Structure 1
Amino acid sequence: LYPQDGTDVATLIRNADAAMYRSKAKGRNRVEAYTRDLTAQASERIALEHELRRAVERNEMSLCFQPKLSLKTHSLVGAEALIRWSHPTFGEVPPEHFIHLAEENGTILQLGDWVLEQACRQMHRWKRDYEAFGPLSINLAGAQLRHHGLAKRIEQLLKTYGLKAGDLQLEITENFIMSQAEEALAVLHQLKKLGVQLAIDDFGTGYSSLSYLKRLPLDILKIDKSFIRGLPDDPHDAAIARAIIALGRSMQLTIIAEGVENQAQQRFLAAEGCEQIQGYIVSLPLPAEDFAAAFLRIALSDLSDGTGAKPSL
């Protein structure tokens, strides 16, 4: 508002812009008034955005890997690749602080492609040195799914790194699938033709149309951690988790619960028929070397002295 929030056009526009970003952060479609603390937040955001554009070139990005555990066999059945940003000044920048920023300014395509390539390269190394342990899952952003060359790019990476399609699992958020219904359906069918596994991530947080859901070529359904947190005591979380598991099983999907932190949650999920879990109860996301040391078995052909392999879970 003039004149209290600025006496010239440039200042007013800048401050209105700061209020707009707060509106977006709070879910959009709402009015937010400018306050002075937003100036500092806006400046921080601009600095972060500037640094993000150069983060890949400076080798500031890395991948960590979180294991997935079978509730039936209590063995490793795969892992999820997660991006991390270590900045020389800002320190460790949480993904929730920069992923949305990357989606807004367009750098998500560069970041997403970097994650795809690094994950495939890492999987190639692990397959060379260790026994097979299941697929590596990678999160795909909405902008990547809108890109017409995605399927060809993944096909190229599989060939370059000598991977089978079954070595990859691609995770797409429920919100994107439901907001871009027909467009998403076409892309998912392209990816399915390659033979990669497809997962719907953060299930239960969006607005799923069940009639549309049945048309999707999915293999895996991931229960969002917000419904796991209150298990087994919260009756609402228990009812929702139970319903999602029943829905997934009836559609012949593999059910994974994310964010599992304690044995009470694990026991509840196992009793209800959930097949896989990931979360702090299994392990924090780990750098590649630590993940291999903790969870992978050295391929028998690599053991020249006949010593035992690293134990599995």
Structure 2
Amino acid sequence: MSCLIIKEFFFTRSGCSLNHQKIMQTELYKHFSPWFQPLVSPFTKEVKGLEVLARSNKKLHTETVISGMELSGEIIHLTRKMLIDTAFFLSEFSHFLPNGFCIGVNISVADIFNPNFENDCISFLRKFSPRKIRLVLELTERYPYPLNDNVLRKFERLKQIGVELAIDDFGTRYATHSYVMCIPVDQVKIPGFFIHQLHTNKKSEKIIDNILSLAKEIGIDVIAEGIETEAQEIIMASKNVNLLQGYLYSPPIPPEIFVQKYFTGNTERTPL
């Protein structure tokens, strides 16, 4: 995607009222829609879930815009849109999905402080029959999550309503062991940064092995991201990583194409 965002969408941590107003006035979140990238079993090649990724219908630089949204607070509207649009679409095809289908949605610090966020998650879950799907909130690592009592209580409430928690890009930036120790996480995601260096940097495999060992010891699941080659797939399977994600299987694609490719064989919407 070509970059259309100019300097006004870069913010300092303290924020800039003029830039904040510009981002709010443009309501950029409305230009984004959910695209899906499959989560695949390396053993059966079955699609066991997906990650929801925001993609724009305009020539916007996604990472730059989303970073600006996080600093302005606009991100809570984008997260809500991803939840609503994803539930609306997938609920129409829920009878095609295997039970326990994993749906990963990225969230940010601002979402945790959003008083309506729990209700948005409840509304999402109610679109599906019990045990049909697993809503997994992926904690992104752009900015740190304050590990105070209020935040930890919010995580506990999310768990109580049936939501699962994952740490995205574990082992990079702010996604450290302190999160695993304090937050009731259900899974961690090994970033493509480590996967891509498996054959060029011996330390990379050691780090991956340490992540897998930690996950096994504390009883949480692992997803490996950034799988681009069969060799990477074979290595992850040999380490008993149950779910893989990456361009070897598919880039992020529009929901209609995802359902057609993996479940229905056509793009017609089937009534519930």
Q: Deviations over 1:232-283 (max 9, x none)?
A: 3311211111111111121111110111111121122122222211000011
How far apart, CA to CA, are the structure 1 residues paired with 2:221 and 2:24? 40
**Equivalent position of 1:75 in the other structure:** 46
Runs of 4+, deviation exceeding 6 Å: none
**Equivalent position of 1:237 in the other structure:** 204
Name the SS for the 1:281 alignment partner. coil
How far apart, CA to CA, are the structure 2 residues paired with 1:289 and 1:209? 36
Name the SS for the 2:43 alignment partner. coil
Whether contact under 8 Å (1:260, 1:266) holds in the other structure is yes
How far apart, CA to CA, are the structure 2 residues paired with 1:104 and 1:235? 37
How far apart, CA to CA, are the structure 1 residues paired with 2:28 and 2:173? 32
Name the SS for the 1:283 alignment partner. coil
Whether contact under 8 Å (2:223, 2:242) holds in the other structure is yes
Whether contact under 8 Å (2:223, 2:241) holds in the other structure is yes
Q: Deviations over 1:53-84 (max 9, x none)?
A: 2551xxx3221100001123221110011111
Whether contact under 8 Å (1:71, 1:276) holds in the other structure is yes
The partner residue of 2:146 within 163, 172, 180 is 180
Q: What RMSD, in angstroms, separates the aligned Cα atoms of the two structures?
A: 3.1
Bigger helix fraction: 1
Does residue 237 of structure 2 align to residue 270 of structure 1? yes
Determine which structure has more spread, i.e. the larger CA radius of gyration: 1
> Which structure exhibits the higher relative contact order, with contacts defined as CA atoms closer than 8 Å and separated by 6 or more residues?
2
Identity %: 27
The partner residue of 2:98 within 132, 151, 165 is 132
How far apart, CA to CA, are the structure 2 residues paired with 1:85 and 1:125? 23
Unaligned runs of 5+ in 1: 1-17, 29-44, 304-313
How far apart, CA to CA, are the structure 1 residues paired with 2:232 and 2:26? 37
How far apart, CA to CA, are the structure 2 residues paired with 1:95 and 1:164? 34
TM-score, reference length from structure 1: 0.72
Note the C-alpha offset of 1:163: 4.6
Does residue 35 of structure 2 align to residue 53 of structure 1? no
How far apart, CA to CA, are the structure 2 residues paired with 1:143 and 1:53? 16
The partner residue of 1:285 within 244, 252, 256 is 252
**Equivalent position of 2:88 in the other structure:** 121
Whether contact under 8 Å (1:245, 1:273) holds in the other structure is no
| 2:40 partner letter | L
Does residue 34 of structure 2 align to residue 63 of structure 1? yes
Distance 1:164 1:174, change over 3 A: farther
Name the SS for the 2:39 alignment partner. strand
TM-score, reference length from structure 2: 0.82
Unaligned runs of 5+ in 2: 1-6, 14-18
How far apart, CA to CA, are the structure 2 residues paired with 1:218 and 1:168? 13
Does residue 89 of structure 2 align to residue 106 of structure 1? no
Distance 1:295 1:245, change over 3 A: same
**Equivalent position of 1:204 in the other structure:** 171
Note the C-alpha offset of 1:139: 0.8
| 2:27 partner letter | R
Distance 1:184 1:229, change over 3 A: farther
| 1:295 partner letter | Y
How far apart, CA to CA, are the structure 1 residues paired with 2:41 and 2:122? 28
Note the C-alpha offset of 1:50: 7.0
Whether contact under 8 Å (1:225, 1:258) holds in the other structure is yes
Q: Deviations over 1:105-144 (max 9, x none)?
A: 221111111111111112211204x242612111112101
Q: Number of matched residues?
A: 254
The partner residue of 2:56 within 76, 79, 85 is 85
Note the C-alpha offset of 1:154: 1.4
Whether contact under 8 Å (1:131, 1:297) holds in the other structure is no
Distance 1:64 1:212, change over 3 A: closer
Does residue 208 of structure 2 align to residue 227 of structure 1? no
Distance 1:51 1:287, change over 3 A: farther
